[in-house]
Structure 1
Amino acid sequence: MSVVRFETPDYEVEAPVLVVGAGAAGLVAALAARAKGAEIVVLERDPLPRGSTALSAGLIPAAGTRWQTAAGAQDSPELFAADILAKAENEPDPAAVKRLAALSGPVIEWLADAHGLDFSLVDDFRYPGHSAYRMHGLPSRSGEELVDRLRQAAEAADVAILTGAHVTALFATPDRRVTGVEIARPDGSRERIGCGALILACNGYGGNKELVAQHIPQMRDALYFGHPGNQGDAVLWGEALGARTRHLGGHQGHGSVAHPHGILITWATIMEGGVQVNAEGRRFADESQGYSEAAAGVIAQPDAIAFTIFDARIAGIARQFEDFRQAEAQGAVIEAADATTLAERLGLPADALAHTLDEVERLKAQGGTDTFGRSFSGVKPLVPPYRAVRVTGALFHTQGGLVVDDDARVVGEDGGPLPNMFAAGGAACGVSGSKASGYLSGNGLLSAVAWGYAAGGAAADDAASR
C-alpha cells in the first residue's frame, strides 16, 4: 500500500525533478522540464512505458493548430473551452478549462517541431461534442505509437527512465514538502531517491476496485479497460498531504469494446450513421451523446452486451485506426449481405432487427429525431452489406483527482499550493466534471499533455531556484 512518511531518510541518489509514471503525462512533463535544462528521472513501474496511453486511440484534441488551418477547420481555444464546458454542464473550473484549451495547440506543435512527432488532423468525422475537427494523431492512430514516440524523444533528450521502479512511499517534511520516494524493484529490493520537485503522472484510481466502488458505484462491476497499475496512488498521497480533490466520480467510460476480443471500436462507427442494438434487436439510447456515457447504457442491457451496426463506408473510415484493423483481423467485425443474414449471424431476432434498421433509415430520410432524442438530420444511410461488432461497456479511466493551479501545482485544502508537488494527466482533476457524460472526447490526453507540459516547465523552474 502506498504511504506518506513524515521523515527524511538518507537517499542513495537525488534528482532535481522526479516524475512518477511514464505515460503521456509523465513523458511530456519530462521533455518540458528537460527543455529548461533540468535533470530528470522518470520512474515507471512496468518493464516498458505503456500505461493507459497505450490503450487509447492516441488522439489529442487541440485548437488553433497549423494542421487545422491547412484543412480549413475553423477553431480557437475559446471555442474549444466552450465545447468542454458545454459537455460537462459547466461543472469544471473555467480557469482550468481555459488554461488547457490555450495550451493544447502550442504543446502539440512543440512536440512536432522539437521532437519530430508527425501529427495529422482527423478530418473525416467529428467526435461527440466537438464543434470543429480538432483531434490530432500519429499515423497509426494508436496510443501505442504515441507513447513509443514520446519515450524515444525522452531518451534522445537524455531523460533517465527507470523501469521496474514501483513507487511505494513518499517522504515529506511537516510543512508538506516532498523530499523523495521509495521504490520497490521486481527482485524485492528497495531504493530511496531524493528530489527537488515531484511530478505525479501515475493516472487515477480505475484499477482500484475499492475506490471505484466508493466513488463510481455504477461501474463497480464493469470491465476495466485501463492500466492495472492505476491504483489511486496520487490521490491517496495527495490526501495524506492535505491536498484538495475534486470530482472523484468523474470518469471516462466507453460503450464499444469488442467482446470477448477486448479491442476498442472507434465511435466513428456511430457518429457516421451507425447504431447500437441489444439482444432483442432494439435500440436503447441516443448513441450520439457520446461513448463515455454509453458505457453504463450498454452495461445495463442483458448480459451487458450490445451490437454496434454500421456499413462498409463507415468501416473504411474506421480502418484508419490500428485498433479497428486488429478487430477485423481477429474476426470481431461480422459482415452480412442483408438484415436477415446479419440477425442470423449475431443471434438476434430477425423481425425486430429489421424493424429497427428500417425505422432508423426512415428517420434519416426524413431528417427526424427519435424517441431518445437523437437527430438523424443529415446522417448518411446505412447501405448493405452491413458490418457489426459484439461489444460491452467498460471503465477506461477516472477523471477526478488532485486540484492543480495554472502551473499544475497541487493545491492544498487551504487554497495554497503544496511546496513542490505537481500533478498531470489522470492524477490531476480533469475538466470532465463529476459524471461520465461530462467527458468530451480526448479530455484524458488533453489533461496529460497540457498539464504535463505545464508541470514540467514549472517543476524545472522550481528546482532551478533551489
Structure 2
Amino acid sequence: MNTVRPVDAIAFEAEADVLIIGAGAAGLVAALAAKEARAEVVIVERDAVPSGSTALSAGLIPAAGTRFQRQAGIEDSPALFARDILEKAHHEPDAAMVERLAERIGPVLEWLADRHGLPFDVITNFSYPGHSARRMHGLPKRTGSELIDRLREAVEAQEIPILTGFRATTLFRSPDGMIAGIAGTRPDGGEERIGCKALVLACNGYGGNRVLVARHIPHMTEALWFGHSGNEGDAVLWGEQLGAELVDMSGHQGHGSVAQPHGILISWATIMEGGFQVNALGERFSDESHGYSEQAATVLRQPEGKAWTIFDARIAGIARQFEDFQNAEAQGAIVSAASIEDLAAKTGLPGATLADTAGEVAVLKRGEGQDRFGRDFSNVPPLAAPFHAVRVTGALFHTQGGLRVDAAARVLDKGGRAFPNLHACGGAAVGVSGAQASGYLSGNGLLTAVALGEIAGRAAAFPSPPSKSAVVDFDT
C-alpha cells in the first residue's frame, strides 16, 4: 500500500509549495508555520475529521520559561527542561535535538496564543513525574480534542485547505532525490496526485500496525491499543524504501491508567497526589510514581492485566479539571465508598488485604519506614474518606521511534545526509524518549508534535536544493 516510485512522467492534478500528510497537532502547526512563511500549503488527511493521536490525549504540552509560567509564579528554564528530558530518557536521545526543542516550544506556544488565539495556561495544582517544575500547558477543557479543534479552526481561518478522506499511498521521487509529490485514494476509490516543492510527513507512528509492533515492541503486541487507528506506520514504511535512518524503534508511550471496561484515560494526578495501585489480590506491586508510561507494562503483568487505582475525594477534585475524568464519573467508572472496607466490598477486592495495604501506605505517608518498592510518599497527604477506586489496564498510546531528522526537521538517510525537501515531525519523526517506555517524560509526544511541527513548516517553506547540505536556522 505504501510505496515510493520514480516520478517519471507523472501528471499532477494539483500543486502546492508545502504539502503535509496528516492533520493532527504536528501537521496543523506545520501548516500554520509554513503559511506564515508565505508558502502555499495543502494538508491531506485520511479521516473525515482531523483528530489523530492528539485528540485522544489530554492535550497538555510541556514548555519552560513561558510567560504563562511567569504569570503563575513558576520559575523554569529550557535548560532545566532539557535536563529533565535527558535524565528520564537515560541520556539516549540526541542532546542537541532535545535542547533545540526545549528552547523552541515556549516561543511556539506563545506564538499560537498571540497569533492564533489559543488560550494556554499552566496546570499549577499537581506535578507530573520527572518534571522539575510545573510546565504542562493546556487549554481550558484539558482535552486533546479541544487542542485539535482550536488548531483546525486556526488553519481554516488562514484559508489553508485540508483535503479530508485522502489516504496517501505513494511518494514520487525525482532522480535528484527530491520528493516531487504524492498519490492517494479518495472515498470514491479514485486516485489523486498532488505535486509539491516540499513534503512534511506528519502522519504519526506505527502503534496501530500490529506487525510493526510485534517486530519492534513485542511485549506490547497484546496490549490495548489506545491510539488513533491511523497510526499504521506510513512514515516508517516509506522511510524504509527511501533508505532513511530509523531510530529508537522500541521507544513508546504506554499508560497504566485506562479505565476498564470504559476505555477512558484517567489522569495520573490520581497517583501523583497520593493515590496508589493494587492488583486483584489487593496488593501494591510497584513504585507507581516512576511514570505512567512504564507503568503500562507493569499493570499488564498483574492478574488479568488489570489493577485498581485507589484515591480520595481531594484527589478526585484535582482530577476533575480534566474532561476525561468527568466522563469517567458520568459513566460510572469511579467507585466511591465511605470506608476502605466498603470500597473493598464494592470493587470485589479482598477486604483484609486492601485494608492492610491502605494502612501500610498511611504509615509511609507519616514518614515511618521505607517503601519496599522505593516510592517516596513524604510530600503527599494521607487519604481520607470518602475513598474512590477505578479499575484500569495498561495500554499502548503511541510509538516514539521513527525517522531521524536534522535541526530543520529534514529526514536523514543512513549516511546522515538530508533529503532536500522531505521533513518529518510528530510521531513520524523519532521522539526524545529513547528506546524504552521508561524514557517517556510526560508530554514528550506533543512536545515533538508542536515544536518540531513548527520547525518543519517553516523549513519546508524554503526547501534546500539537492546539492545544498547546510541547515538554515529558521528561528530568526
**TM-score of the alignment, normalized to the shorter chain, above 0.5:** yes
Residue 76 of structure 1 aligns to which amino acid in structure 2? S
Structure 2 equivalent of residue 456 of structure 1? 457
Deviation at 1:174, TM superposition (A): 3.2
Residue 430 of structure 2 aligns to which amino acid in structure 1? C
Give the conservation status (yes or no) of the 8 Å contact 2:420–2:465. Answer: no
Structure 2 equivalent of residue 163 of structure 1? 164
Give the conservation status (yes or no) of the 8 Å contact 1:15–1:195. Answer: yes
Give the conservation status (yes or no) of the 8 Å contact 2:308–2:392. Answer: yes
Structure 2 equivalent of residue 100 of structure 1? 101
Residue 461 of structure 1 aligns to a residue whose secondary structure is coil
Partners of 1:150 and 1:193 in 2: how far apart?
Answer: 24
Structure 1 equivalent of residue 223 of structure 2? 222
Structure 1 equivalent of residue 73 of structure 2? 72
C-alpha RMSD of matched pairs (Å) = 1.3
Residue 213 of structure 1 aligns to which amino acid in structure 2? A
Give the conservation status (yes or no) of the 8 Å contact 1:54–1:146. Answer: yes
Structure 1 equivalent of residue 193 of structure 2? 192
Residue 4 of structure 1 aligns to a residue whose secondary structure is strand
Deviation at 1:205, TM superposition (A): 0.2
Give the conservation status (yes or no) of the 8 Å contact 1:309–1:388. Answer: yes
Partners of 2:463 and 2:378 in 1: how far apart?
Answer: 53
Residue 7 of structure 1 aligns to which amino acid in structure 2? V
Deviation at 1:74, TM superposition (A): 1.1
Deviation at 1:242, TM superposition (A): 1.2
Residue 396 of structure 1 aligns to a residue whose secondary structure is strand
Q: Deviations over 1:104-125 (max 9, x none)?
A: 1000000000000000100000
The residue correspondences of 1:8-27 to structure 2 (distance < 5 A) are 8=8, 9-27=10-28
Structure 1 equivalent of residue 297 of structure 2? 296
Partners of 2:318 and 2:89 in 1: how far apart?
Answer: 28
Residue 206 of structure 2 aligns to a residue whose secondary structure is coil
The residue correspondences of 1:267-416 to structure 2 (distance < 5 A) are 267-366=268-367, 368-416=369-417
Structure 1 equivalent of residue 474 of structure 2? none
Structure 2 equivalent of residue 248 of structure 1? 249
Residue 7 of structure 2 aligns to which amino acid in structure 1? E
Q: Deviations over 1:267-300 (max 9, x none)?
A: 0000000000000000011000000000000111
Residue 38 of structure 2 aligns to a residue whose secondary structure is coil
Partners of 2:84 and 2:368 in 1: how far apart?
Answer: 24
Partners of 1:230 and 1:152 in 2: how far apart?
Answer: 23
Structure 1 equivalent of residue 125 of structure 2? 124
Give the conservation status (yes or no) of the 8 Å contact 1:197–1:463. Answer: no
Structure 2 equivalent of residue 213 of structure 1? 214
Change over 3 Å in CA distance of 1:406–1:368 after alignment to 2: farther
Partners of 2:464 and 2:175 in 1: how far apart?
Answer: 20
Partners of 2:448 and 2:368 in 1: how far apart?
Answer: 36
Partners of 1:464 and 1:4 in 2: how far apart?
Answer: 20
Q: Deviations over 1:119-160 (max 9, x none)?
A: 010000010000001000000000000000000000001111
Change over 3 Å in CA distance of 1:274–1:263 after alignment to 2: same
Q: Which moved more, 1:113-122 or 1:1-10?
A: 1-10
Give the conservation status (yes or no) of the 8 Å contact 2:251–2:435. Answer: yes
Residue 159 of structure 1 aligns to a residue whose secondary structure is coil
Give the conservation status (yes or no) of the 8 Å contact 1:44–1:166. Answer: yes
Partners of 2:2 and 2:214 in 1: how far apart?
Answer: 19
Deviation at 1:70, TM superposition (A): 1.1
Residue 53 of structure 2 aligns to which amino acid in structure 1? S
Residue 86 of structure 2 aligns to which amino acid in structure 1? L
Residue 420 of structure 2 aligns to a residue whose secondary structure is strand
Change over 3 Å in CA distance of 1:273–1:407 after alignment to 2: same
Which sections of structure 1, spanning at least 5 residues, go unmatched? none
Partners of 2:177 and 2:248 in 1: how far apart?
Answer: 23
Give the conservation status (yes or no) of the 8 Å contact 1:17–1:463. Answer: no
Which sections of structure 2, spanning at least 5 residues, go unmatched? 469-476
Deviation at 1:263, TM superposition (A): 0.3
Structure 1 equivalent of residue 90 of structure 2? 89
Partners of 2:63 and 2:142 in 1: how far apart?
Answer: 15
Partners of 2:241 and 2:146 in 1: how far apart?
Answer: 36
Q: Deviations over 1:404-456 (max 9, x none)?
A: 11110111111110121000000000000000000000000000000000000
Structure 2 equivalent of residue 442 of structure 1? 443
Structure 2 equivalent of residue 423 of structure 1? 424
Residue 205 of structure 2 aligns to which amino acid in structure 1? G
Structure 2 equivalent of residue 432 of structure 1? 433
Deviation at 1:7, TM superposition (A): 2.8
Relative to the length of structure 1, the TM-score reads 0.99
Partners of 1:367 and 1:202 in 2: how far apart?
Answer: 50
Give the conservation status (yes or no) of the 8 Å contact 2:420–2:464. Answer: no
Give the conservation status (yes or no) of the 8 Å contact 1:367–1:378. Answer: no
The size of the alignment, in residue pairs, is 466
Give the conservation status (yes or no) of the 8 Å contact 1:165–1:185. Answer: yes
Give the conservation status (yes or no) of the 8 Å contact 1:304–1:393. Answer: yes
Partners of 2:392 and 2:340 in 1: how far apart?
Answer: 18
Partners of 2:184 and 2:273 in 1: how far apart?
Answer: 47
Deviation at 1:176, TM superposition (A): 2.6
Give the conservation status (yes or no) of the 8 Å contact 2:251–2:401. Answer: yes
Deviation at 1:254, TM superposition (A): 0.1
Q: Which moved more, 1:67-76 or 1:261-270?
A: 67-76
Residue 141 of structure 1 aligns to which amino acid in structure 2? R
